[in-house]
Structure 1
Amino acid sequence: MAVIVEGLADPHSPLADVAGVQMHRIAPGCLCCAGNVVLRVTLNRLLRRPPAQLFISLADATHVGQLRAMLSAPPYDTLLSLCDDVAAPVNAS
């Protein structure tokens, strides 16, 4: 299993210590602009030896549609099968 986390400030995430989980951190940024290259490089490296499952965690859900469009287009369309989005519950304060 692999996890790409956008904008995780603390490099000592509990996921980092889970056996069998590859965790990759990328800096927060617009995935349509500046963050696009970093995400593509990370994906390309990761997909050389594809994990059974890949989770991508975004700092902000604003660009989910653009991310899905990118992952549904070549070359990723033949390498990945997209599942439904999972959203974290919103805490009511």
Structure 2
Amino acid sequence: MKTQVFLVSGRNPELRAQRIERLLCEQASAGKITLMASTEIFSFAAVEAQADLFRLDAERKARGIHVLRLSPGCLCCSSKLVLSTHLARTLRLNQPNVLLVELESQSHPEQVLQLLKEPQWTDWFADITLVEEIS
């Protein structure tokens, strides 16, 4: 079984979150879903908004979605090792049918896409789709 990957990018964390929720709904019947979400929104969110995010993560987990919050940074530059480590572990242990990866605003979507097309990932991914935030 290979994993369908969606890379969700864009400058606005709130719009990315909305797009992720739509994708999660669209992919609900696809089987096991893993969300590798950015922590960027926590850097500016008020305490109440952060509490709402933790509740949202708990609700997603209750729906059977494996949620993993990634440390801050561009996933092709400063956080490349973090991405590779978490990705390998998630694919091995969770074996998701669908993987959603949220890219922080400073990430380089095309470079992350190329990173995931490297030979080490060939046997893991069915398809990789770059999704821009929509308003």
Question: Shared fold by TM > 0.5?
Answer: yes
Q: 2:58 aligns with which of 7, 16, 21?
A: 16
Kindly indicate which of the two structures has a greater share of residues assigned to helix. 2
Q: Which has the higher contact order (CA 8 A, sep 6+)?
A: 2
Please state if 1:89 is matched with 2:89. Answer: no
Structure 1 residue 33, shift from structure 2 partner:
2.5
Please state if 1:64 is matched with 2:109. Answer: yes
What's the TM-score, normalizing by structure 1? 0.81
User: Where does the alignment leave 5 or more consecutive residues of structure 2 unmatched?
Assistant: 1-32, 43-49
What's the TM-score, normalizing by structure 2? 0.58
Please state if 1:73 is matched with 2:118. Answer: yes
State the identity %.
26
1:51 counterpart SS class:
coil
Whole-angstrom distance in 2 between the partners of 1:15 and 1:89: 22
- The aligned counterpart of 1:38 is 82
Whole-angstrom distance in 1 between the partners of 2:131 and 2:106: 11
RMSD after superposition: 1.9
Q: Is the 8 A contact 1:2 1:55 kept in 2?
A: yes
Structure 1 residue 71, shift from structure 2 partner:
0.7
Kindly indicate which of the two structures has a greater share of residues assigned to strand. 2
Q: Is the 8 A contact 2:74 2:106 kept in 1?
A: no
Whole-angstrom distance in 1 between the partners of 2:79 and 2:57: 22
Whole-angstrom distance in 2 between the partners of 1:66 and 1:13: 32
1:28 counterpart SS class:
coil
